[in-house]
Amino acid sequence: MRRTKTAGTIALAWWLGATSSWAQQQQDGAVAAAGEPKAAPPAQEPAAASTAGESPPVAAPATNPDTANRRVEQTKPWEIGASIETHRMIRQDDLGGAAPNKVFNVYGVYAKYDLSEHDHIGVGDVFDQRFIADSGETGFRSGDVTFRYTRTQPLARQFSFAATAAISAPTSFSSQKASIITAPSLLLALDKRIGKYVALSARTGGSAFITKYSSAEGGSPNPKWRATLSAEAEVTMPFHEPLSIGIDVATAWLWLYQVQGAGGAPNGATDDAQYPTQPVSQSYAGEIFVRYVLPSLAGVKSDFSVALADGDPALSYNSVLHDGVSQFYLFFRQTAEVYGTFSVRY
């Protein structure tokens, strides 16, 4: 759920994640402490009057010879990255239609460019790898290629705000079957640091689905709008700062087109004439995770994490409605999973 963070369902993709942060980015380099005095230049004694045949004393060099050849890491305006996730369902029996998803992989790639200190653009995609596929298919499918613009703004008291506008291209199998032309979206994020070791974030957003038809192939209703809400907390271990643990929760509401169902019923999703309009569906998800940041090597940064999750963009999320009744299931059998992620960026 933390992918960079893909905007397929509750979370936007790998980008913010809610990886991502779902993709959360780490700040490069150390920030100097506020008010820390700069090192004073070495003092030089006044030169004494030279005498015949005697050279004036040589001033001490202004450069520290112990640090003169030290290489300073240069920041660059661009970044590229990739990730791989391996998912495994917790329940291995009684999965019904979810049986092909017992084990699957998800790959992500992205590139971003900093237009300024606070303005960023990027593009990315995710790919699913299933190990049970239809005849003639490899089990490897692309998601929707997504283009993003993000504006970040630091605030007082260790708060920061970010707004991301995104638009997708219908490159995924499901988007093509649903005749989706594009899905513009907006995500608002508020982050808060508490001291050195605690990071909190809250995100809300919405998407509009521009489709050619009101229903997908097979007759199921297409989505019209989606609204999302999520929160995350991550704590860095003081005794070993590369290690952190966290938790995140999310929920989403989905509005569907009014289409005719089987037998002439007015609502394709419910086939129940008592509903005057297509009911709004709600889903939820959550996870607890452990992350470890590896040392950078030749400018390449990487980390890996392990999560216990209920719901995932590639797996689908847990619905509030079960058999027409609003119920909350913790780690529902068709959405409960464990997964590991390894990501690199340069």
Domain borders along the chain are: 112-122+132-291+308-340
pLDDT in tens, 149-159: 999 999 999 99
Tell me: pLDDT of 272 over 80: no
For residue 333, count CB atoms less than 10 angstroms from its CB and return exposed for 0-12, middle for 13-18, buried for 19 or more: middle
- Please give the distance of CA 202 from its chain centroid, rounded to a whole number: 13
Q: What is the mean pLDDT of residues 175-198?
A: 96
Q: Calculate the alpha carbon distances from 36 to 42, 72, 156, 159, 337 in Å.
A: 18, 20, 20, 22, 48
For the chain, give the mean pLDDT. Answer: 78
Angle at 313 between CA 86 and CA 310, to 5 degrees: 75
Give the model's pLDDT for residue 254: 93
Highest mean pLDDT among 37-51, 59-73, 167-181: 167-181
Give the model's pLDDT for residue 274: 62
d(CA 188, CA 209): 19
Tell me: pLDDT of 54 over 60: no
Q: What is the mean pLDDT of residues 273-289?
A: 82
- Please give the distance of CA 262 from its chain centroid, rounded to a whole number: 38
d(CA 22, CA 7): 8
Give the model's pLDDT for residue 304: 96
d(CA 6, CA 12): 5
The secondary structure element, H or E, covering residue 175 is: helix 173-177
Give the model's pLDDT for residue 209: 96
Question: Taking the model in full, what pTM does it have?
Answer: 0.75
Give the model's pLDDT for residue 258: 81
pLDDT in tens, 238-267: 999 999 999 999 999 999 888 766 555 566
pLDDT in tens, 11-53: 333 333 333 333 333 333 333 333 333 333 333 333 333 333 3
Q: What is the mean pLDDT of residues 181-196?
A: 96
Give the model's pLDDT for residue 276: 66
Give the model's pLDDT for residue 5: 39
Which CATH entry fits the domain spanning 112-122+132-291+308-340: 3.30.9, 2.40.160, 3.40.30, 1.10.600?
Answer: 2.40.160
More confident residue, 316 or 13: 316
Give the model's pLDDT for residue 57: 42
pLDDT in tens, 205-227: 999 999 999 888 888 889 999 99
Give the model's pLDDT for residue 65: 46
Question: Which region among 58-72, 154-168, 183-197 has the lowest average model confidence (pLDDT)?
Answer: 58-72
**Band of the pLDDT at 89, cuts 50, 70, 90?**
confident
